[in-house]
Amino acid sequence: MINNKKVHPLLVYILFCSILSLFLFLLSFGAEDDKSKKNVDPNFNEAPVSAEYAKNTNYQTILNQFIENGFTNIELVKQEDLVFGLFHSEGDIVSVTINGMKDFKENDKFPKNAKVIIKYHAFKEKEESKTDADKTLTTVDSTEKVESSEQVANNTTEITEISNEVITIDNNADFAEIMSIKGDNDPRFDEFAKKYMYKTIEFDGNIIFFQKHPNKKTRYDVMFMGGNYIDADTFNPGPTFRVQDVGMYELAKDSSAPEYIKVGLNGHYKFKIVGYRSDSAIFEVQIEEIKYR
């Protein structure tokens, strides 16, 4: 005989609430467990890269990564050891230490207030500027009688502004000359490099070489020449300008940048001269601004 006795509605409700509560409990437990796995201890930060990886990378890239990981006690130290920048580019990291540790690994944990010291290569620009100022004062004294210290200051300021002007083919005959030279290893390239080292140049040009920097996945070496790109077998007059070990952000941070940076792109460049290789007529430069045309 079949039992057709009905289950009381209250029991059904209680059973439903019990199952729902158990489900929500298990769900919250799993989420909490997952959250505990993902969250880092608020009192500690993880090293974004290893000490070894950081070497020879531009300090600004590594600095940003440490800031993104929560480090706030960061000190930047210039090691003014560059002369021509043949072996290192300005800004390349010499070493990174965290609380004095020199061989830390990626994701190693450190206290939130750990001391991070980033040491990087740099040119002795301050000494260079002082020398230029001394020369400027000497020039003023030898060419005209200065009647007051105020007049010296005014004359010095005026001459310094002229010397720091961005060099273009329109305002500098020397630059216009080297940009029109056909052929390599012309002695005028070397003369220009010595005369205008650490000055900023600006010109229209194109990318003639683009490849990854040795042992780096996201860093690149790029070469530029003046004028518009023609083809792989044709080079425009003038010297070659090169940047080494630069990130894509430095090459494509302007809104005019295309989706892919490659050989053949035309652009408008503002570079600081930081070195010159006379054996290959290559000017080593530092990017100040790139706009694509």
pLDDT tens for residues 81-99?
876 655 678 888 999 999 8
Return the pLDDT at 80: 84
Return the pLDDT at 111: 87
Return the pLDDT at 30: 55
Q: Which domain holds residue 245?
A: 173-292
Structure token digits, residue 290: 């790139």
Residue 23 has pLDDT above 70, yes or no: yes
Domain co-membership, 191 together with 276: yes
Domain co-membership, 213 together with 228: yes
What's the average model confidence in pLDDT over 131-155?
41
Q: What CATH number corresponds to the domain at position 119?
A: 3.30.10
- Least confident range from 5-14, 144-153, 162-171, 181-190: namely 144-153
What's the average model confidence in pLDDT over 123-139?
47
Domain co-membership, 21 together with 61: no
Domain co-membership, 158 together with 257: no
**The 3-state secondary structure of 110-145, one letter per residue:** EECCCCEEEEEEEECHHHHHHHHHHHHHHHHHHHCC
Domain co-membership, 105 together with 209: no
pTM as predicted: 0.48
Structural domain total, the chain: 4
How much is the CA Rg of the chain, to the nearest whole Å?
30
What's the average model confidence in pLDDT over 4-15?
64
